[in-house]
Structure 1
Amino acid sequence: MKFDISRHLTLAMATVAIATVLFSFIVFYIVYTIAVWCAPKLFPPGFSAMPNGWDLVIMGVVTGMGIGLGAWIAAGMARHIVEPMHAVGRAARAIADGDLTARAAPLVEAPGETATLVEDFNAMAGRLEKAAHDAVSWNAQIAHELRTPLTILKGRLQGVSDGVFVMDDMLLRGLLTQVDGLARLVEDLRCVSLADIGRLELQVGEVDLRTGLEEWAAMMAPTVERAGFSLSVESASIRARVDMARLRQALLALVDNALHYATPCALRLVVRHQERGVAIHLIDHGPGVPLDQQADLFRVFTRGAAARETHRTGSGLGLAVVQAIAHAHGGAARYRWQDGHSHFIVTLGA
């Protein structure tokens, strides 16, 4: 037969009460027996340390009172310990049945350790609910982002097969553009997913950031200029241990974001020393990110209303990739509006 914690506590406290009373009486009579034997003159004639009827009655009353007090204390302790645990159990069973919104809410004030258990359980349940929600959202977003290029590819290829379109250079370049977009989307998803589980691997080497960034800026110049922008690098000769390929991927996402949303201007890539590592600023002339969107700017699949209207084909992954690569380098990505300019800042740890 299994007993719950409240019964165990009650039995334990009753046992302690009985043991305490019995131990007290036994010690009491042992001490008196030794005293009578060692110093009989201190006691009246015929004195005996053995209990008589009244002693046994008193012992029984005291034992009963001890058991009652112990049971009352045990019941109070059980109420404060067991009820929160029952609440955790009920919530756990509800979550196991599929209700991820279930939380443990004890009806009494729990002691420290039990309260911590309830708080930790609720925090775990919250993270589980968020993970499940994010998984559903990810699946929906990925399906949405893949559908458009796949539909275009299928439509064009079906048209070629039916003789509606001619496979000329222009059509072929258009199809390759869609394939490139798919490839980049898949790589962005892979990068963010690996970073989310802490498995984004870097091929780190010591490089001269100014040389590497200038070479990359020169390669990006034709694309940037076609959009009405220019790109310059402002950096001292700084050596750092980074994965240059991943860093270029992050900067490509930042530049691509600027080309779609910023006013045509001179983009400045500024590299600065900081206390630990370096900070790379991509600076444009705005119009900037609304204040209510800045907190979620680098989250996966986050796009503001204005962004969705002006650039309908964006995936909302670019800045999340930037954050993932920054975190992999021991740094972070953040946004700052300063002196009429947008600063997208990538910090890299030492």
Structure 2
Amino acid sequence: MSRLSTRALISHTLVAVTGAVTAYLVSRELTPRFYDSRMAGMMGQMLGPGGMSRDLAVGAANRGLAIGVLVALAVAIIAGAWSSWRLLRPLDDLSAAAHRIAAGRYDEPVPLPREAELARVANDVNALAARLAETEARRMRLLGEVAHEMRTPLTVLDGYVEGLQDGVFTPEPELYAELSGELRRLRRLSEDLGALSRAEEGRLGLHVARVDVAAVAIAAAERLRPQLHDAGLDLKTEWPRWALLVDGDADRIAQVVTNLVGNALAATPPGGHVRVVASPDGADALIEVSDTGIGLAEGDAERVFERFYRVPRTGTGPNASGSGIGLTIARGIAQAHGGSLFATSPGLDRGSTFTLRLPMARA
């Protein structure tokens, strides 16, 4: 009784038996009455309602009905078995597909059955397989990218340590500064990877409160003004005429703006400027960070948000040799707030603009 095919067959059989028994009992009860009523209305009947002709007619009708019921049951059972097989064949395909997915084989889609309900389930299974295949590909790519990113600082550290052991290098403050710099790079990569993982899994842990996103963004940009000044860049900020209130995490929003301004610092040669503008746009608040730097080539406006993708840098800011996942994390933060982050550029050497769009709070 645990198999669906057996249960479906028994269900069909019970329905058929119930219908047949009901038909037989109703016919057995009503046939004599119909016979008597019919005969009473006929002229020239040979025997009374209780005569032999009545018994013969009723008996023949009941025997014929019993045979018909048995034949109907046999046909119903055969039809039920065929219907169960038709129903379970797509389910067997779905079961086989689930086993293939569990084994890591995502490239064999489930054929779509003709039944609309089962076709929807098959579509869902195929979509699940495609999503898992994409996730697995991203995981493998991420492992390769992380290994590549860690290889450089580890190689440098290994070289310095071997040099110290062999006496090639002398223990001097400058050497320790180099070692410390590579260690900080590894630590920053580790922290960025943790933030990236939380962003992509939706586990950023936002501390949501009603904040003025314009004030948060301008304050974050102002904190980098000394670094911009040292690099020969001018910072320009523009405030809106009223507060841009959003329900969000002020620290995370500041993290996004800091990343964008830091990228502008790294991409802009001396003599340029970085501009941070906060403005309303319908029901959204916009934070635009634009620069006069190297710009973006066609197709790079979206690729810069990919993990570990870097465009050539000409600046000397702190992000000039970053981990390459800051923008990925920044977009994850924007999406966690129900907003978006995108980039535009008129072309190489013509600067670029990164726009953070967040929904404003409702009164």
Greater CA deviation, 307-316 or 334-343? 307-316
- Match of residue 285 from structure 2: 278
1:144 to 140, 143, 148: 148
* Contact 1:210–1:233 under 8 Å retained in 2: no
1:91 to 94, 97, 106: 97
* Contact 2:345–2:351 under 8 Å retained in 1: yes
Residue 93 of structure 1: how far off its partner (Å): 2.0
Secondary structure class of the residue paired with 1:135? helix
Residues 50/11 of structure 1: CA separation in 2 closer, same or farther (3 Å cut) = farther
1:348 to 334, 343, 358: 358
Taking structure 1 as the reference length, what is the TM-score of the superposition?
0.80
Residues 342/313 of structure 1: CA separation in 2 closer, same or farther (3 Å cut) = closer
- Match of residue 194 from structure 2: 190
- Match of residue 244 from structure 1: 250
2:85 to 70, 78, 85: 78
Residue 129 of structure 1: how far off its partner (Å): 2.4
Secondary structure class of the residue paired with 1:52? helix
Q: Provide the rounded CA distance (Å) in 2 between the counterparts of 1:346 and 1:338.
A: 18
Residue 65 of structure 1: how far off its partner (Å): 4.7
- Match of residue 201 from structure 1: 205
* Contact 1:18–1:63 under 8 Å retained in 2: no
Residues 60/313 of structure 1: CA separation in 2 closer, same or farther (3 Å cut) = farther
Residues 329/101 of structure 1: CA separation in 2 closer, same or farther (3 Å cut) = same
Residue 323 of structure 1: how far off its partner (Å): 0.8
After superposition, what is the alpha-carbon deviation per residue over 1:16-38, rounded to whole angstroms, capped at 9, x for unaligned?
33432332232123123445678
Residue 212 of structure 1: how far off its partner (Å): 4.4
Secondary structure class of the residue paired with 2:354? strand
* Contact 2:305–2:327 under 8 Å retained in 1: yes
Residues 213/12 of structure 1: CA separation in 2 closer, same or farther (3 Å cut) = closer
After superposition, what is the alpha-carbon deviation per residue over 1:212-271, rounded to whole angstroms, capped at 9, x for unaligned?
444433432343345453322111353545433322322232233334445663111111
Secondary structure class of the residue paired with 1:278? strand
After superposition, what is the alpha-carbon deviation per residue over 1:35-78, rounded to whole angstroms, capped at 9, x for unaligned?
56789734752224974246524542464256426634652463
* Contact 1:17–1:63 under 8 Å retained in 2: no
Q: Provide the rounded CA distance (Å) in 2 between the counterparts of 1:335 and 1:315.
A: 19
2:260 to 251, 254, 259: 254
Residue 318 of structure 1: how far off its partner (Å): 1.4
* 2:332 maps to amino acid: A
Q: Provide the rounded CA distance (Å) in 2 between the counterparts of 1:211 and 1:330.
A: 19
Alignment of 1:94-109 (within 5 A): 94-106=100-112, 108-109=113-114
* Contact 1:332–1:347 under 8 Å retained in 2: yes
Greater CA deviation, 282-291 or 148-157? 282-291
- Match of residue 20 from structure 2: 21
Residues 76/138 of structure 1: CA separation in 2 closer, same or farther (3 Å cut) = same
Greater CA deviation, 34-43 or 210-219? 34-43
Question: 1:332 and 2:340 equivalent?
Answer: yes
* 2:102 maps to amino acid: A
- Match of residue 31 from structure 1: 30
Q: Structure 1 unaligned runs (5+)?
A: none
* 2:250 maps to amino acid: M
State percent identity of aligned pairs.
27
Residue 174 of structure 1: how far off its partner (Å): 3.1
* Contact 1:267–1:282 under 8 Å retained in 2: yes
Residue 200 of structure 1: how far off its partner (Å): 0.8
Taking structure 2 as the reference length, what is the TM-score of the superposition?
0.78
* 1:320 maps to amino acid: T
Residues 20/203 of structure 1: CA separation in 2 closer, same or farther (3 Å cut) = closer
> Alignment RMSD, CA only?
3.6
Residues 343/160 of structure 1: CA separation in 2 closer, same or farther (3 Å cut) = same
- Match of residue 185 from structure 2: 181
Q: Provide the rounded CA distance (Å) in 1 between the counterparts of 2:200 and 2:56.
A: 77
Alignment of 1:298-317 (within 5 A): 298-301=305-308, 303=309, 307=312, 314-317=322-325
Q: Provide the rounded CA distance (Å) in 1 between the counterparts of 2:248 and 2:223.
A: 20
Residues 49/242 of structure 1: CA separation in 2 closer, same or farther (3 Å cut) = same
* 1:105 maps to amino acid: P
* Contact 1:232–1:267 under 8 Å retained in 2: yes
* 2:228 maps to amino acid: V
Q: Which entry has the higher C-alpha Rg, 1 or 2?
A: 2
* Contact 1:192–1:320 under 8 Å retained in 2: yes
After superposition, what is the alpha-carbon deviation per residue over 1:52-110, rounded to whole angstroms, capped at 9, x for unaligned?
2465245424642564266346524632x22211111111222333424343225x42x
- Match of residue 273 from structure 2: 266
Question: 1:320 and 2:319 equivalent?
Answer: no
Residues 176/95 of structure 1: CA separation in 2 closer, same or farther (3 Å cut) = same
Q: Provide the rounded CA distance (Å) in 2 between the counterparts of 1:20 and 1:127.
A: 48
Secondary structure class of the residue paired with 2:288? strand
Q: Structure 2 unaligned runs (5+)?
A: none
Greater CA deviation, 332-341 or 17-26? 332-341
* 2:325 maps to amino acid: L
Secondary structure class of the residue paired with 1:270? strand
